[in-house]
Amino acid sequence: MSVEIKNKKASFTYFLEDEFTAGIQLNGSEIKSIRNGKASIAEAYCKMEKGEMWVINMHVENYPNAGYVPQNPRRQRKLLLTKNEIKKLDKKLKNVGITLVPTLLFIAQSGYAKLKFRVAKGKKMHDKRAAIKDRDVARDLDRSLS
């Protein structure tokens, strides 16, 4: 059973560019919740602090049999990247209007949780309207062909 939690709004809201994959530092009960599919990256974003990369606002539901110490479902979680990747991302983040948006949370073959995120630049309202128009035209074309 593979777990893939997607951020469907990312491609609509942002122009997506380079993609990176990172491990996530999790607690034991958090990985169990992710394996059950009880997580969301819809409102999440990545941030650089003191030379470390963090994912912020990612929601991981509390595992029911976790014990008596409750975890904060939206706590900051550290992303595990190499130094070279962190340097690359730091250079890109210095540009105005650039952000890092998580697009996919999945369980790798090794059993670890991984997060794919992309360098993104926000779309303006007219860009979003154009995307909606293109999608509607494609849908109408498919209907007429079937």
Q: Exposed/middle/buried for 32, CB within 10 Å: 0-12, 13-18, 19+? A: middle
**Bridge partners (DSSP) listed for residue 119:** 100
Q: Has residue 1 got a pLDDT over 70?
A: no
Domain ranges of the chain: 4-145
Alpha helices, DSSP H, located in the chain: 10-13, 28-35, 83-93, 125-145
Average of per-residue pLDDT across 18-27 = 91
pLDDT at 96: 82
**Residue range 85-102: mean pLDDT, rounded:** 89
Q: Is the pLDDT of residue 123 over 70?
A: yes
127: confidence class by pLDDT, cuts 50, 70, 90 = confident
Q: Looking at the predicted structure, is the pLDDT value of residue 23 above 90?
A: yes
Domain 4-145, CATH homologous superfamily name and number:
Small protein B (2.40.280.10)
Percent with pLDDT over 90 in the chain: 29
How would residue 66 be classed by pLDDT, with cut points 50, 70 and 90? confident
pLDDT at 139: 92
pTM of the entire structure?
A: 0.78
Collapse the DSSP code of 135 into the 3-class scheme (helix H, G, I; strand E, B; otherwise coil) and give the result.
Answer: helix
Q: What is the chain's mean pLDDT, rounded?
A: 88
